[in-house]
Amino acid sequence: MLENTGWHAYGFMETPADLLRLVDVACPQDTGLLLDTGHAVLQGFDPAETARLWLPRLAQIHAHDNGGNTDDHLPLGCGVIDWASLISTLIESRWDGVFMIEVGENSDGRQSLAQSMRIIERHVGC
């Protein structure tokens, strides 16, 4: 599995399509992609658009929010990510991978998780 971890700093991957091409050309068919939503924002990528592009290989999502400048690991809904768009993309595509909520180390874990779950429930319709 390959994750978007901030490749701009290393200069060999510029877009989500670059990583998808690399996986398609150089990796076995069962190699998945892991979308880290916070990293995507910091890389200038729209998480929903990235998920849509990666759907054939999208195995996991590490979900956390940020303000667009640092890897804050904020609860979902406390930053700049459009969760409605990402969640609707996943539902409409019937995606069945792992959706993992990442909780920041400098937060009240239970409160952060509860906040994130409320955002998911709001958009899933639970």
Q: How many domains does the chain have?
A: 1
| pTM of the predicted structure, to 2 decimals | 0.92
- Backbone Cα Rg of the chain: 14
Specify the pLDDT at position 126: 59
* Residue range 91-117, pLDDT digits in tens: 999 999 999 999 988 778 899 999 999
Specify the pLDDT at position 9: 59
Residue 85's CB is within 10 A of a number of other CB atoms, namely 16
* Residue range 12-32, pLDDT digits in tens: 678 999 999 999 999 999 999
> Is residue 62 within a helix (H) or strand (E), and if so which, with residue range?
strand 58-63
Predicted confidence (pLDDT) at residue 10 exceeds the cutoff of 90: no
CATH number at residue 95: 3.20.20.150
Predicted confidence (pLDDT) at residue 7 exceeds the cutoff of 60: no
Range of the domain at 47: 31-124
Residue 122's CB is within 10 A of a number of other CB atoms, namely 14
Specify the pLDDT at position 33: 98
Q: Is residue 112 part of a domain?
A: yes
Q: Is residue 44 part of a domain?
A: yes
